Amino acid sequence: MRVLVVEDDARMADMLDRSLREQGYAVDVAGDGEEALVQSAVNSYDAVVLDVSLPRRDGLAVAQQLRARGSRVPVLMLTARDTVRDRVAGLDAGADDYLTKPFDLPELEARVRAQLRRGAAAVSPLLHHGGLTLDTVGRRVSYEGKPIELSARELAVLELLLLRAGRVVSKENIVSHLYGWGDEVGLNAIEVYVYRIRKKLEPLGCEIRTVRGMGYLMERSHAGG
């Protein structure tokens, strides 16, 4: 799952970035409305956390432009304005939810999860592969109902492999899925994450095959139910 955070206050943006990454999401950050529209045109997002008071183009205009493009991405709007008129303006502009500053991070995280669930209303948020289940919204993995402990980054790698099960996924594609703009990461890090996932899943019969020179392929062996 990839989230765009649009916030011009550097401290607030960093706090939201770290909080959502800890929840297992890939996060991009835009510092103004114009940058947000550029990033949303280039990348596909599962949710947008959008401040109202932004330079160059405010959050209301950004939301209106997203909807004018035909985007149905869930938008959680953040603002210090707390009048009924302000909330109505945000919702009319295209926001799906409205959170007033200051707020507690657990509430924001819960609202993002709620928007992701609504965005996935037509598609099950659960990815199944044999006895393996990954809840893309709750960020949980289980095998035949028993939880499997994965780090947020490991879970994100597994999510992409499951989404493309039966197809080879390159390391470059995994990097793009896992990290937001501005992150620097070597391809060796992907090898480490895949190695850790294998150690946890292969005893259950879930195989991730290395396709030399191409990437990884999620397969399921006959062992492990």
- Asked if the model's pLDDT at residue 122 lies above 60, the reply is no
- Asked if the model's pLDDT at residue 185 lies above 80, the reply is no
Assign 225 a pLDDT band (cuts: 50, 70, 90).
very low
User: What are 4's strand-pairing partners?
Assistant: 28, 48
Residue pointed to by tokens 């509430």: 107
- Asked if the model's pLDDT at residue 147 lies above 80, the reply is yes
- Asked if the model's pLDDT at residue 37 lies above 60, the reply is yes
Give pLDDT tens digits for 5-35: 999 999 999 999 999 988 888 889 999 999 9
Residue 161: name the closest of 123, 207, 196 by CA: 207
Please check whether the two domains, 2-119 and 126-220, share a CATH topology. Answer: no
183-202 mean pLDDT: 85
Residue pointed to by tokens 């959680």: 76
Assign 136 a pLDDT band (cuts: 50, 70, 90).
confident
Question: What does the pLDDT read at residue 23?
Answer: 83
- What pTM was computed for the model? 0.65
107-117 mean pLDDT: 88
- The beta-strand segments (E) located in 31-84 are 47-51, 75-79
Fold of 2-119: Rossmann fold (3.40.50)
The domain limits of the chain are 2-119, 126-220
CATH number of the structural domain 126-220? 1.10.10.10
Question: Mean pLDDT, the chain, as a whole number?
Answer: 86
Assign 49 a pLDDT band (cuts: 50, 70, 90).
very high
**Residue type for position 158:** L
